[in-house]
A and B are shown apart, each in its own frame.
Chain A
Amino acid sequence: MTEVENDRRSFLGLGSADAALATIGAVAIAAAAPVGAQAAAQSLSSSDTDILNFALNLEYTETEYYLRGVLGTTADEVFGTSLGGSVKGGRKVAFSSRVHEGLFKNICGNEIQHVKFLRMINGGAAIQRPRIDFDAGFAAVAQAAGLPDFDPFANEMNFFLGAMLFEDVGVTAYKGSARNIRNKRVLEAAAGILATEGYHMGAVRSVIYKMGDRARARSIAVSNLRDQLDGPQDLDQPVVMIDDHSNVVPANNNGIAYSRTPQHVLNIVYGNPAQGVMAGGFFPDGFNGRIRST
C-alpha cells in the first residue's frame, strides 16, 4: 500500500470492510483458523457472507479432491486441525508426467489458498466443511452419465475428468454470483478466484482434449449430465465440438462464459434436478450455510 493510499484511507475514516480486511489480512497471513475474524465478518453484508460461504462449500470439496488425488493426504492434515465434516473416499493417483502432476499441484495449492481466504474474510461466520462423500457422489455420476467404470481416483484420465466436473461448475457459480456481491473489494477478490478457476480449467480441459477420443467422449458424458441436472437452459459444453474440433473454452456466441444460479449448482452437486432438494450426491447432509436448497 502506498503512502498516498494510506493517507486517503485515513482521510476517509474507513471503519469499513476495506480497512478491517486490510488489517486482518496483515495479521492473519497464512493462518488456517480465522484470526480477528469477527470484525471482518461484521463488516460484510449478510448476503455477501452467504455467497462466500456458498463458495466455501465448493472450495472445501475441491481442496479435498486434489489433496487426496495429487498428494494422498487430507485437508485436516495440511491445516493441522479438523475443518468440519468427515470426508469419504479419494486416493493418490499415478500421473504419467511431471507436467500433469505439476499442474495439479498448482491447482491443489490454489484451492487450499481459497479455503484459507474465504474462511478468513467470513471470520466467525465462516462455515465448517460439510460432510463430503466422494464415493457416493462419483458412483451416482458414473451411473447417471452412463460411465459405469468412472472412478476419478482410478487413473489419470478419470482424475482430469473429475476435476472438470467440479471446476467448470465453480467458474459458472462465481460468475453467477458476481452481480450480487455488494462489497467492491470482495467482488474483486471473487473475480480473482473466478479467474484462477478458469485458468485451472483451461489447462485441464486442454489436456483432456489432447488425451484423445476416449477422454473426449467422457467429457461429453460429464457435460451432458450437468446439463440434464441444471435446468432447461444449455449452460454446458464438453471439450470437443460437434464438428470434432477442440472446445477447451466453454463460452456462448459472444465469447462469454456461462452463469449458474446457486440452485443450479446445487442440482449438479446433489445429483438431483428437482427443486427444494437439501442434500444428496457428494453432500449427504447438504451444503453448510444459508444457501443450501436447490
Chain B
Amino acid sequence: MFFPALEPTRRQALRAFSAGLVGVGATLSGCADLIPQSVGLALLPNPLTDPAVYNFALNLEYLEAEYYQRGVYGRGLPSNLIGPNPGQVIGGRQVAFQTPYVREFLAEIAEDEMNHVRFIRQTISSSPLIEINRPTIDLVGSFRSVGSAAGLGDNFDPFADEASFLLGAFLFEDVGVTAYIGGSDLIAQGDSIEAAAGILAVEAYHGGLIRAQIADMGPAMIAKADAISDTRSALESPNNRRQPVGVSSPLRKEQRISEGDVFPGEVVVAPSDGFGRAFGRPPQDVLNIVFGTPDKDARRGGFFPDGVKGVVRHARNETAQMRNAS
C-alpha cells in the first residue's frame, strides 16, 4: 500500500500533472456535476488527489446523512446540500422513538453527518473533476438484502422502530470509521489529514455510542448486531485485505460486540485488532459492503443502485488496486 521512498516523488509528479489540468478543471468545475464519470479516469493517471478521496467519502456521508435525517426528522437533506442534479433517495421515514435519550443521540448523529456533507462539499467543490451531486440512494432494498443475509428476516426495515434504527446505524458507523482509516494513507496534505482525522474521530464516537446502546438492550439485540458484523465481513473481498503494520491477529475488519480479545466479559464498544487499533478498509472493501456484493467487479448495487460519484467508484478500481497491491 505504501511507497515510503517513492511516494513523494510520485505524488509530486502527479500533482504537477494535475496542475497542468487546472485550466481544464477550472472550465469544468462550474459544471462538475455534468462530467461523465469516465472522464475522470481518462484524464488522470492517478485520480487519487485529496479531493478525489474526499469525493469518495462524500458518497458515504450522503448515505448516512439521508438515513439519519429521514429517521429522526422525516425529511431528507435540504436542497442546497445535494447538488443541482441529485439522485433520488428511495425510502426512509421518521422513526417512532420510545426512548428520549436514544432520539437525542440519533439527532446528534444526524446533525454531525449533515455537517460532514456540507463541509466536504465546501472543501472540494472547486476542485477539478469532482462530482458533487448526491448519488441515488436506496434505503429499502439494500436493508432487506442485508437483513436477509444477517438472518434478520426478509423484510428488515430500519425505520420500523427504535431498535431497528440503531441496527441500521450500527451498519453504517463502523463502515465509516474503517473507510476514513483506510483513506488516511491516501491523503497527502496536512490540512486534509487533520480534517479527515477529525471526521474519523466523530464517526468513532458515533460507533461507540451506538454499540453501547445496543449492548444495553440485551443479548438478543447484541446477537443481531453481531450478525450484521458477520455480514459485512462476508461482503468484502479477501483479495483486498492487507496486513496492517505490526499485525498480531488474524486478518479481519470486524469485531463482534460479544467477542472481546483480552478479558472475559468484554463488551466490545471499540472494534479493533490485536494492537487496539480500529480497522482500515481500502475503498474497494467499502464499496463491496455498500454495494452489498463480494463481486470485485461490482460498480453499483445495495445502497447505491446507480453506483457512487467521483473517480473512486469501482469495487475494483484500477488505481486503487495498484496502490493496494504495492
Contacts and interface: CB of A to CB of B under 8 A. Distances in A.
Interface of A: 1-2, 4-5, 8-9, 12, 14, 16-18, 21-22, 24-26, 28-30, 71, 98-99, 101-103, 105-114, 116-117, 120-121, 171, 174-176, 178-180, 183-189, 191-207, 209-210, 245-259
Given A174-B197, A184-B4, A196-B270, A254 B325 contact: no
B215 A103 contact: yes
Given A121-B246, A191-B280, A255 B115 contact: yes
Interface residues of B, number: 83
B70 interface: no
B171 interface: no
A257 B194 contact: no
A249 B265 contact: no
Contacts of B265: 98, 101-102, 105
> What does DSSP make chain B's interface, helix, strand, loop or mixed?
helix
B2 A185 contact: yes
23 contacts: A1-B242, A2-B239, A2-B325, A105-B267, A107-B269, A109-B263, A113-B277, A117-B275, A171-B201, A185-B185, A191-B197, A194-B204, A195-B180, A195-B204, A195-B277, A197-B204, A199-B278, A202-B210, A205-B209, A209-B101, A255-B119, A256-B202, A257-B199
A202 B272 contact: no
Contacts of B272: 110, 113, 192, 196, 199
A18 B4 contact: yes
B322 to A, nearest CB: 9
A21 B1 CA distance: 14
Residue from A16, A110, A176 whose CB has the most chain B CB atoms within 10 Å: A110
Contacts of A203: 208-209, 211-212, 269-270
A12 B280 CA distance: 23
B93 interface: no
Contacts of A106: 260, 262-263, 266-270
Contacts of B242: 1-2, 5
Interface of B: 1-7, 101, 104-105, 107-109, 111-116, 118-119, 177, 180-182, 184-185, 190-191, 193-195, 197-213, 215-216, 239, 241-248, 260-280, 325-326
A193 B115 CA distance: 24
A25 B211 CA distance: 29
Given A22-B243, A202-B212, A254-B118, 7 more contacts: A106-B266, A191-B280, A197-B204, A200-B269, A210-B101, A256-B119, A256-B199
Contact of B262 (A112, A184, A191, A256): A112
A36 B212 CA distance: 38
